[in-house]
Structure 1
Amino acid sequence: MKKMFFSLLACVCVTAWCVEPSVNAAAPASGVVASQPLSGFPSDAERNEERVRLTRERQALEDKYRQEMKLCYQNFDVNSCRLQARDRRIEADTALRKQELRFNAQERQIHADEARRSLADRNSEASQKKAQAERAASIAASKERADANAQKQIDHALQGTKRGDYEQKQREAVQRRADAEKKLRERNKEPAAPLPVPGQ
């Protein structure tokens, strides 16, 4: 009687676990989820509840298996009972594992989407900073060019007067050199030949 009760209970549990994945099969595939925003996913509270439920079911499955194994040792045909308990555990574990895999895939998808969004935010901030830096650099470069151009114009305007001063100084220097050479020649000049005596 106990054996039949537990096998019936196991069948009901396995059926319930097997039906639930087919209901959740209507959930979008992982490729579709990737294009959906995070709002398409369950909230953190719902995900935590699902995580707790799966953990609870896993623990219940293990507890049930241990209880069945204890009961098997009270039967005459221990090995057959153990094999049946193991088979029931495998079936229930398979159904539960599908749910866990689906949940874990969804978690990975959520984390991947969050990572992509974070990366996109960082890239947009980095590109904004880069654009601002480029703008500041171009503004600084144009200001430097304008300052250099203004300085050249000032230098050119002054250069005309300086050029005149320079040329005047050059002419004066040439004149001084010529005067100095003339004086030097006059000092170093040999006395001129005496003039011929008239009438001789």
Structure 2
Amino acid sequence: MKKLALSLLFAVLAWPASGQTGGTGGLDPVAERARIAAERQALQQRVNTERAACYQKFAVEDCLNDSRRRARVVSDDLKRQESALNDIERKRRAAIETQKLQDNASSQRAQDQATQRDRAADAQKEREQRTADHAASREAMKAQEAQNQRSFADKQQHNAKEQAQRQRERAQEPANVKANDERLDKAAQHRADVERRNAERDKPRAAPLPTP
């Protein structure tokens, strides 16, 4: 009996190492409880038998006291075993709960780490996209600036050509006026000649001189 109690006590002390894996130090709690219940029943039967035997003796009270003392020792030992078993099961349940909490925490950490990695990847993509957008914007601004410069140069060249054309026209304007005046004079002279010829042609012929 005492050896069994010591084995239970050793199982309790060894629990932190074995309880983490869900075991009970090699003990079967159900079988142990059944054994303790059977030993209690056997103890009660033995007590009843001893009490009956005591009443057959002369020193009844001494016999009963001895029987009670022996029963108390055995009962106390069974209580210690039961207490040790309860402690084992309590530690087992606590270890299982602790393991669940650790597993949940580990799963949560893994999920948090995965979320952080996803966020970091998204942030990196956003930074790369912003960099690409800025580069494209700078290239577009450079292209637009070059186009503006070409347009400005073309406009200046066109203005310069127009200005040169106006200067040539202003330089040729006196000659054009003179030529135009000459054309007008020639036209007027031509009309006068035509009118003169027409007038001479239409003038009546003179009567012939009389015959002498």
Identify whether the pair has TM-score above 0.5, normalized to the shorter chain.
Answer: yes
Contact 1:61/1:89, CA 8 A, preserved across alignment: yes
Output the amino acid matched with 2:5. P
| Ranges in structure 1 where 5+ consecutive residues have no aligned partner | 1-16, 169-200
- Give 1:134 shift: 0.7
Output the amino acid matched with 1:131. Q
Contact 2:12/2:88, CA 8 A, preserved across alignment: no
Contact 1:41/1:110, CA 8 A, preserved across alignment: no
- Cα deviations by residue, 1:27-57 (Å, 9 ceiling, x for unpaired): 3561x431345357226xx332112111222
Counterparts of residues 1-200 of structure 1 (less than 5 Å): 17-22=1-6, 24=7, 27=10, 30=13, 32-36=14-18, 38=21, 41-42=25-26, 46-65=28-47, 80=62, 82-161=64-143
Q: Secondary structure at the match of 1:141?
A: helix
* Structure 1: distance between partners of 2:60 and 2:133: 104
- Give 1:99 shift: 1.7
- Cα deviations by residue, 1:104-135 (Å, 9 ceiling, x for unpaired): 23223322332332222222211111111111
Percent pairwise identity: 22
Moved more, 83-92 or 141-150: 83-92
Residue 146 to residue 19, structure 1, CA distance change in 2 (3 Å): closer
Q: Secondary structure at the match of 2:88?
A: helix
| Ranges in structure 2 where 5+ consecutive residues have no aligned partner | 152-212
Contact 2:51/2:67, CA 8 A, preserved across alignment: yes
- Give 1:137 shift: 0.6
Tell me how many residue pairs correspond in the alignment: 149
* Structure 1: distance between partners of 2:59 and 2:148: 125
* Structure 2: distance between partners of 1:52 and 1:77: 36
- Give 1:21 shift: 2.6
After TM superposition, the score normalised by the length of structure 2 is 0.53
Contact 1:72/1:81, CA 8 A, preserved across alignment: yes
Moved more, 68-77 or 147-156: 68-77
- Give 1:70 shift: 6.8
* Structure 2: distance between partners of 1:47 and 1:96: 14
* Structure 1: distance between partners of 2:127 and 2:5: 71
* Structure number, greater radius of gyration: 2
* Structure 1: distance between partners of 2:134 and 2:48: 94
* Structure 2: distance between partners of 1:103 and 1:156: 78
Moved more, 81-90 or 120-129: 81-90
Contact 2:24/2:92, CA 8 A, preserved across alignment: no
Moved more, 120-129 or 153-162: 153-162
